[in-house]
Amino acid sequence: MYAHTAQNAVPAFNVAALAICRGLERSAVTRIAAVSLQQKLAERQTVFCEGDLAESVYEIVSGMLKLYKLLPDGRRQVTGFLLRGHLLGLASNERYLYTAEAVTPVTLCRYPKARFERLLDEVPGFARRLLAVTSDELRAAQDQMVLLGRKSAAEKLASFLLMTAEDQDDGEEQSGTVNIPMGRSDIADYLGLSTETVSRTLTQLKCRGVIALPTSAHIEILQRDRLEQLAEGNLPEDF
């Protein structure tokens, strides 16, 4: 399902509040706002598919997207879960290299790619601001490479919970409750595990008193220190 259609796009709201415009002069924000559109997606609706022409750049205003690639044998590799402030569609390739799908209802700010790229040359400070935002994307990619490396299932899941909590805290005081709107199969495809292993490991963490599972979509971190130790490999393998 395509989401980048005319009926889903309306003039953008307060662009100045978006991550891509933070710290820029008002004149720069005005020029960026002039090429932007607000776009809303329902749960499971696709922003774009792997192989589509890369015609737009997006920033997430609210909600969560998942990114994934299909492997030659038909398996799926989830490469990320993106929240407010993240950008996608920035690659210089002519076609998108992955599929972006809404996990929850999502609001996006969409920029036609050709006009967006012209702004990089024409708007003072815009390229520097874009570099600051995309450095976070690089860090997230590096984090996933570590996750898919030599960590055990428990270490992977602990790291995932802590990273998700950090993204959701958004610089605020740690709340202890992590929203997990994605399914267990999505988490499994992100961590390189089976769905059964994800469910079993969550149950083990619950039985150890490290987390609570009030609902399938919410995980409460009860012992953050122990979860951090586990993520770093400092607890026994059979923890």
| Nearest-angstrom CA–CA distance, 52 and 28 | 30
| Nearest-angstrom CA–CA distance, 99 and 65 | 10
% of the chain exceeding 90 in pLDDT: 54
Kindly list the structural domains of the chain, giving each domain's residue range(s) and its CATH number in brackets, ordered by start.
6-146 (2.60.120.10), 150-231 (1.10.10.10)
Question: Residue 175 has what pLDDT?
Answer: 66
What's the rounded mean pLDDT across residues 121-147?
79
| Nearest-angstrom CA–CA distance, 177 and 72 | 37
- Rounding to the nearest 10 degrees, give the CA dihedral for residues 40, 42, 47, 51: -160
For the beta carbon of residue 11, count every other beta carbon within 10 angstroms.
9
Write out the two tokens for 92: 């210089």
Asked if 191 and 203 touch (Cβ cutoff 8 Å), the reply is no
pLDDT tens across 45-87, in order?
999 999 999 999 999 999 999 999 998 888 899 999 999 989 9
Using only the alpha carbons of the chain, give its radius of gyration: 19
Question: Residue 6 has what pLDDT?
Answer: 39
Question: Residue 239 has what pLDDT?
Answer: 61
Closest CA to 87 of 45, 156, 141: 141
pLDDT tens across 144-180, in order?
677 677 688 999 999 999 989 988 876 555 668 999 9
% of the chain exceeding 70 in pLDDT: 87
Of residues 180 and 140, which shows the higher confidence score?
Answer: 180
CB under 8 Å to 199, separation ≥6 — which residues? 184
- Which helix (H) or strand (E) element contains residue 195? helix 195-207
What confidence category does residue 3 fall into, taking pLDDT thresholds of 50, 70 and 90? very low
Which residues is 215 bridged to in the sheet?
218
What's the rounded mean pLDDT across residues 97-126?
93
Q: Picking from 33-42, 99-108, 129-138, 188-197, which range would have the lowest pLDDT averaged per residue?
A: 129-138
Name the pTM for this structure. 0.84
Question: Residue 67 has what pLDDT?
Answer: 95
| Nearest-angstrom CA–CA distance, 190 and 23 | 33
Whole-number average pLDDT of the chain: 86
Question: Residue 171 has what pLDDT?
Answer: 53
